[in-house]
Amino acid sequence: MKEKDEIKSNIMAAALIEFGKNGYRHASTNNIHRIAGIAKGTLFYYFKSKAKLYNTVLLYCLDEFIAAMKKAEIERFSSAEEKIAVLITKKMAFYRSHRYESMILFEALTAPPVELSVDFKQSLQSLNVFNIENLLENIDLSDFSPEYGKDEIIRFINYGTAGLQSVLFAKTIDWDNLYYYTEESLKFIKTILKGMKK
């Protein structure tokens, strides 16, 4: 049993590298079996297709991301600025320390292969815990100008974060310069919030 677990673990590690570097469409099962140090037939014994392997790796990446975000304990912060700053900082820390996992998740979220499983699509619902509406559900409005209601504040922050993500992810991400993205993101969110405060 231990040998089977080790083989499966080696396949997953190799697939993480291959899918992370090349994306689903350009990833090669030949590279995966070579990196894992197994015969190609052994690869397909454990994972019946490239799509099944990809979906397994993808669910692993999603679980890793969710675990990292839960460790951030964002709910213990009270202000909108603190919550969003912690979320951005923790996301960027995850991207830096889990490059391949992040690349696989970006592909699945921004240019998903048609082979994505229903399981993954359903698992995406677990990310809703970290959306702006949920994060800011109980924010203190006393710092905000009375001209802005809670729904409006959340909507404007959503516009800002969506726009920020589309700009940052529209180009090839410089994975070695994620500190820059973190700083830019934090400044941008502070600017949006400052404009709505008293």
Per-residue model confidence as pLDDT tens digits over 74-128: 888 888 888 888 888 898 889 889 999 998 998 888 788 887 777 777 777 777 7
pTM of model > 0.75:
yes
Structure confidence at residue 178 (pLDDT): 75
Residue 174 has pLDDT above 70, yes or no: yes
> Among 181, 26, 166, which residue's Cα sits nearest to residue 104?
26
Give the Å distances, CA to CA, from 13 to 6, 18, 164, 174.
Answer: 10, 9, 32, 23
Structure confidence at residue 138 (pLDDT): 82
- CA gap 68, 23 in Å, rounded: 23
Topology (CATH) of 1-48: Arc Repressor Mutant, subunit A (1.10.10)
Structure confidence at residue 169 (pLDDT): 62
What is the domain partition of the chain in residue ranges? 1-48, 61-196
Residue 17 has pLDDT above 80, yes or no: yes
Residue 40 has pLDDT above 90, yes or no: yes
Structure confidence at residue 114 (pLDDT): 83
Mean pLDDT for all residues in the chain: 86
| 3-class secondary-structure state, position 105 | helix
Q: Is the dihedral of CA 47, 102, 136, 83 positive or negative?
A: positive
Residue 180 has pLDDT above 60, yes or no: yes
Structure confidence at residue 172 (pLDDT): 67
First to last CA, the chain: 63
Give, in words, the CATH class of 61-196. Answer: mainly alpha
- Whether residue 170 contacts residue 145, with contact meaning beta carbons closer than 8 Å, is answered with no
Q: Do domains 1-48 and 61-196 have the same CATH topology?
A: no
| 3-class secondary-structure state, position 23 | helix
Which token pair is 155? 């909507």
